[in-house]
Structure 1
Amino acid sequence: MVLPGEIPMPPRMADLKREIVQRYTTPENMTKAWNDLLEHLAKAAKNIKSESSDLVPVVDFADLDKLDPKVIEQLKRRGCVVIRNIVPDEEVKVWKDDLKEYVKNNVDCEGIPEGDKQFFMLYWTKSQVRARAHKNVLATIAWMNKLYKTKSGVPIEGVDLGTPLSYADRFRIRHPGKAWDLHPPHIDGGSIERWEEPAFRTCFEEILKGNWMAHDPYELEGRLNGKTSIYGRPNQSSVFRTFQGWLALSETAPHEGTLKVFPDVTLSNTYLILRPFFRQKEKLVTEDPLDAQNWEFDDSTPDFPGIFARKVGFHGPRLTNASHPHMRLDETMTSVPKVYPGDMVFWHCDVVHSVEVEHTGKGDSAVMYIPAVPLTPGNEAYILRQKDSFLKGIPPPDFPVGNGISENTFIGTGSTADIVDAAARRAMGLPLE
């Protein structure tokens, strides 16, 4: 169904569905997998609702190299983790104070909402540059990257998961009391590409074959070769981020404007990928609309729920109770546990995530976005282009140009002098000195 103001999905998307089914499976096999998945989703929803934030693993930076394998498996299943004590409190306090001073001194800086800026389109403040260059932050990124593996176990030329790269992103200092509807449940890192782009689609082959329990969100090959942005839409990351992440600059607990996730990346991936091939029957068989008996295979329409056509390319996935009802998002989107300054939160690149609408706390909820990015040929090429943006003080290549003002004209902008350590310079594509 196309709502007023929306652009219909192009008819060729129905052909894409049929091509996928013909290549990977049969309607019968896909239906069997779908019915099995719905049973697991229903059980998972009850568990998520009961356990809530306790499902998200919390570990300490000092313990990363000696974690129990069971904890690592839990982390990988949930696709999210809080890592404590990465940066000392005193350093984080300076960074946050400097950010506030930077915004105060540079009134022309871009941010939203207008008139009460809280989310800033800034990338090169001294605090951000120093945070990305911090040795503990880089060590944590390398550890997160190494959760991914190749199927064969054989290294891939030009890929080093132990060499972290610095991907410049923005920061927020969110005030309490105001509703925030900027980030409803969604997934970054690709839209229709998950189905349309052949290399990226290999990440989800087992799901499409009907063998969804064999799906491994941490297999590396498809991530390296897959193109997550084939239509050039703005604000679409063109690099491979193993995990998205942020560094906490303040204490932020559930209900205080923090991150929410659907804490089972295998289940959410499977449901997302299979959902376009099923529709609710016009006449329900049972009273429960979510009952598998009330759903049927259908590859006749061009619709991909949660994916929206735009004048240029496609937008999404944006997930709602209407588009993805079996995920029971009202009950299953889970706030991460309380964080403290210097903690970091990471979530897998496929994890469904959002930001809490309400902030009922007394202080601000402040974070710097710092994802986990490994050394790959494609990522390194991006970092070299990003380095040029850094030197010019302009937004990185993946981000809109904005108001056209260079941060180099602002007071307190970071520079290469803030990146001293060799690993940090390597991460930013700078010459080693």
Structure 2
Amino acid sequence: MANPADFGPLPPRFAELKKEIVGSYPDFEARATKAWGEILVELDKATKDIAAQGSANVPEVNFSELGSLTPERKEEIRGKGCLVIRDVVDDQEAREWQAWLRSYVAENPVDGVPEHDKQFFQLYWTKSQVRARSHPNILSATVWLNKLYRIRNGDGAKINDVDLETPLTYADRFRIRKPGVQWDVHPPHVDGGGIERWEDEAFRHCFDDILSGNWREHDPYDLENRVRARSSLYGRPNQATVFRTYQGWLALSETAPNEGTLQVFPNVRLSNAYIILRPFFALKDGANPDSFDPDAWRFDSTTPDFHGIYSYGASFVGPRPNTQTHPHLRLEQTMVPVPKVYPGDMVFWHSDVIHAVEKHHTGKEDSTVMYIPAMPYTAVNAAYIEKQKESFLQGVAPPDFPRNKGEAECVGVGKADDIENPIGKRAMGFAIEVA
């Protein structure tokens, strides 16, 4: 985990990146300034509404409903950028996977944090994880999420080497969080790329409407540039190099608000607009940093600041918005916990959504979740899966994660035979042709 004490300012060359962006869009200063004022006005209203509604902001649907949701309901889910899907896996099976995880960490020397009382585990290949990732219901849910993406004005058009209906599996970790322990390692942040959102040309094009001043037209589900965007230019460990439509986790226990659950900012279009334009505006001398008055801010195209992005060795971390860098998000009131979940429920959030883990767990039961995102077939993703498969067979960490001692000798490690159905085998790379 990155230590905030080691973060530093961005290098001067990022001032040149700002100038490049400004020069890439017609009338950038005028259009961006107008958009910035509109976004502040909208945030003032939206953040109050989010704070008032709390967990009710997060849509809830049953797995059995996914095929019959109305277009209006799907648009609501797209707008929020997050949802709970109930009853994806049978409760008893989910509880059994939880018991296997407990046995695994008890019987094996394992990597995790905090060092003195491990609760977030650098483990990828337990039998529970292998079984869960290849479960047909889980893969079916991820396909449904993949298909929320679209080609803008595409009218049924397709992109070569992309198949939203073919799910792939991205191996990630799990946590068994104990009650009463303060958790500071997951403050508000955005996954799926940091400075790359501005620096990588294809990634930047995902936000063309925002940078052109037409922020209300921004579609976080526009597929075309997403599949070409490079989310990891610096090779930082724990930075995904693949395209995930949604991040997600599977609940193996009951977890409610105030019990160490996920928090989200449930308006992905608005938070994107604010985060992407924030580097181009600085507070005027003497102005109130919490002011929603556009006149309190001035256009800034000369400093290297990309607020919420920090230098970390030879790499960069973020976006990590906070109350100082992004005051208009009112994060202390708007990072709402997801509704109570039960074993077998899943929680998903768009890869642009600001999210965090609650600092406090006041419940009585361990909060146990396995991280399982939604990932469609693309040429880049399929190539990664081929490398990930080799990591699985060798019992070592997947390519995007730091090397560790591995799990090959662990008691209860998952094997290829634990993948029990053809769709699961394909998702894990055992029946894929790499483009």
Tell me the CA shift for residue 158 of structure 1.
Answer: 1.4
- Partner of 1:424 in structure 2? 424
The alignment-based identity, stated in percent, is: 56
Q: Cα deviation per residue 1:45-104 (whole Å; 9 max; x = unaligned)?
A: 110011111011000000000012221111100000000000001111110111101111
Answering whether residue 125 of structure 2 is matched by residue 129 of structure 1, we say no
Q: Is the 8 A contact 1:164 1:427 kept in 2?
A: yes
* 3-state SS of paired residue (2:362): coil
Paired residues for 1:52-201 under 5 Å: 52-106=54-108, 108-151=109-152, 152=154, 153-201=156-204
For residues 79 and 146 of structure 1, what CA distance do their matches in structure 2 show? 14
* 3-state SS of paired residue (1:256): coil
- Partner of 1:290 in structure 2? 292
Count how many residue pairs are aligned between Structure 1 and Structure 2.
Answer: 426
Answering whether residue 39 of structure 2 is matched by residue 37 of structure 1, we say yes
Answering whether residue 277 of structure 2 is matched by residue 280 of structure 1, we say no
For residues 407 and 236 of structure 2, what CA distance do their matches in structure 1 show? 24
Q: Cα deviation per residue 1:206-252 (whole Å; 9 max; x = unaligned)?
A: 00000000000000011111101111111100010000000000010
Answering whether residue 220 of structure 2 is matched by residue 217 of structure 1, we say yes
Q: Of residues 248, 254, 259 in structure 2, which corresponds to 1:251?
A: 254
Task: Please tell me the residue identity of whatever aligns with 1:93.
Answer: R
* 3-state SS of paired residue (2:348): strand
Tell me the CA shift for residue 315 of structure 1.
Answer: 1.1
- Partner of 2:408 in structure 1? 408
Answering whether residue 66 of structure 2 is matched by residue 49 of structure 1, we say no
User: What TM-score does the superposition give when structure 1 sets the normalisation length?
Assistant: 0.96
For residues 355 and 387 of structure 1, what CA distance do their matches in structure 2 show? 30
Tell me the CA shift for residue 155 of structure 1.
Answer: 0.9
For residues 289 and 103 of structure 2, what CA distance do their matches in structure 1 show? 58
Q: Cα deviation per residue 1:355-386 (whole Å; 9 max; x = unaligned)?
A: 00000111111100000000000000000000
For residues 63 and 95 of structure 2, what CA distance do their matches in structure 1 show? 19
Q: Cα deviation per residue 1:107-129 (whole Å; 9 max; x = unaligned)?
A: x1111111211111110000000
Q: Cα deviation per residue 1:21-61 (whole Å; 9 max; x = unaligned)?
A: 12114211110000000000010011001111101100000
For the aligned residues, what is the CA RMSD? 1.4
Paired residues for 1:5-20 under 5 Å: 6-20=7-21
For residues 236 and 288 of structure 1, what CA distance do their matches in structure 2 show? 32
Tell me the CA shift for residue 7 of structure 1.
Answer: 3.3
Task: Please tell me the residue identity of whatever aligns with 1:414.
Answer: G
| Deviating more after overlay: 153-162 vs 299-308 | 153-162
Q: Is the 8 A contact 1:189 1:350 kept in 2?
A: yes
* 3-state SS of paired residue (1:123): coil
Structure 1 pair 394–292 and aligned structure 2 pair: CA distance change class (3 A): same
Tell me the CA shift for residue 5 of structure 1.
Answer: 5.7
Q: Is the 8 A contact 2:13 2:304 kept in 1?
A: yes
Tell me the CA shift for residue 12 of structure 1.
Answer: 1.7
Structure 1 pair 111–413 and aligned structure 2 pair: CA distance change class (3 A): same
Q: Is the 8 A contact 2:281 2:298 kept in 1?
A: yes
Tell me the CA shift for residue 14 of structure 1.
Answer: 1.0
* 3-state SS of paired residue (1:225): coil
Tell me the CA shift for residue 4 of structure 1.
Answer: 8.2
* 3-state SS of paired residue (2:84): strand
Task: Please tell me the residue identity of whatever aligns with 2:414.
Answer: G
- Partner of 1:380 in structure 2? 382
- Partner of 2:311 in structure 1? 309
Q: Of residues 364, 367, 371 in structure 1, which corresponds to 2:373?
A: 371
- Partner of 1:358 in structure 2? 360
For residues 325 and 385 of structure 2, what CA distance do their matches in structure 1 show? 36
Structure 2 unaligned runs (5+)?
Answer: none
Q: Is the 8 A contact 1:281 1:295 kept in 2?
A: yes
Answering whether residue 232 of structure 2 is matched by residue 207 of structure 1, we say no
Q: Is the 8 A contact 2:163 2:377 kept in 1?
A: yes
Task: Please tell me the residue identity of whatever aligns with 2:412.
Answer: G
- Partner of 1:239 in structure 2? 242
User: What TM-score does the superposition give when structure 2 sets the normalisation length?
Assistant: 0.96
Task: Please tell me the residue identity of whatever aligns with 1:381.
Answer: A
For residues 76 and 289 of structure 2, what CA distance do their matches in structure 1 show? 35
Q: Would you identify which runs of 4 or more consecutive aligned residues in structure 1 move more than 6 Å? A: none
Structure 1 pair 330–288 and aligned structure 2 pair: CA distance change class (3 A): closer
Tell me the CA shift for residue 290 of structure 1.
Answer: 3.4
| Deviating more after overlay: 17-26 vs 321-330 | 17-26
Structure 1 unaligned runs (5+)?
Answer: none
Tell me the CA shift for residue 6 of structure 1.
Answer: 4.5
Q: Is the 8 A contact 1:290 1:325 kept in 2?
A: no
Answering whether residue 324 of structure 2 is matched by residue 325 of structure 1, we say no
